[in-house]
Structure 1
Amino acid sequence: MTAHFDHTIIASLDPAEMASFYLDLLEADEAPSWGPFQNVQIGGGVLLQFATPPTEFPPQHYAYLLDDAHFGRAYAKLVQAGRDHWADPQRSRPGAMNHEHGGRGVYLLDPSGHYLELITRSYL
């Protein structure tokens, strides 16, 4: 395998708010921002770039693999903030986490309405 994921642009209603949200929840690192982009960096050097697109955008799905301790901190933040979250992508199990694939997982919406999945075990 020679390809590695480098960066993505995430459509944002408020790029600064999105960068702040991801910095806190994912315990990301600050990264230099330029032009229309508010940037943060996550594990593996992956750059998340938040920008407002010129037109409306459909929500996307982004899954993040966290270690157990990080997941615990992130989940505690969700609960403490009273943020809606679900154990399943269909949102039929509100206020809960799942224990699938030998780990823990939770689904939530970010400030721009994208579907986030936080998991402690990869599906592979």
Structure 2
Amino acid sequence: MSIELNHTIVQAEDKKASARFLADILGLEVGPQYGPFIPVEIPNGVTLDYYEGDGDPLVSQHYAFMVSDGEFDAIFSRIKERGLTYWADPYHTRKNEINTNDGGRGLYWDDPNGHKLEIITKPYGAGDA
């Protein structure tokens, strides 16, 4: 059996709202609650399982999604429609810009919990090949 990432847990203040936020932006569905988790399944079968935690403070995480050019356009459109701030870089210095790293396009935005979300159309280092 090959090793594959199956799921990761994403801590949230409001798991339902946070799962809905990601699903709506990426054009995905929110799955039914499973135990204490609300899952959002990514097309490669990995789920992000939203969880409200055990009272621990939220720690910002980073989640990057590889998308096609068409998906990038659709996601970018939804980000702009919602009036969300986005950046071309992970340090949030290039506000309301996209990047063209490695011959693709990419951008970053924050979810309601302060998690850093990213979409890219080319993997890092693709321009070096």
Tell whether the structures are fold-level matches, with TM greater than 0.5: yes
**Structure 2 equivalent of residue 35 of structure 1:** 35
> What pairs up with 1:1-124 in 2 under 5 angstroms?
2-54=2-54, 55-124=56-125
The alignment's TM-score, normalised by the length of structure 1, stands at 0.93
CA RMSD of aligned residues (A): 1.4
Structure 1 residue runs of 5 or longer lacking an equivalent are none
Mean Cα displacement is larger for which, 20-29 or 68-77?
A: 20-29
Amino acid at match of 2:79: L
Counterparts of 2:39 and 2:65, CA distance in 1: 17
Amino acid at match of 2:123: S
**8 Å contact kept, 1:26–1:42:** no
Higher strand share: 1
Counterparts of 1:120 and 1:18, CA distance in 2: 24
Q: Secondary structure at the match of 2:97?
A: coil
Residue by residue over 1:6-59, the C-alpha shift from the partner in whole angstroms, topping out at 9 and shown as x without a partner, is: 001100111001111111112223323122211111121111100111210210
Q: Secondary structure at the match of 2:117?
A: strand
Amino acid at match of 1:56: P
Q: Secondary structure at the match of 2:18?
A: helix
Amino acid at match of 1:16: K
Q: Percent of counterpart pairs with the same letter?
A: 36
Counterparts of 2:47 and 2:91, CA distance in 1: 28
Counterparts of 1:100 and 1:23, CA distance in 2: 25
Q: Secondary structure at the match of 1:30?
A: coil
Counterparts of 1:58 and 1:32, CA distance in 2: 25
Q: Secondary structure at the match of 1:43?
A: coil
Amino acid at match of 2:13: L
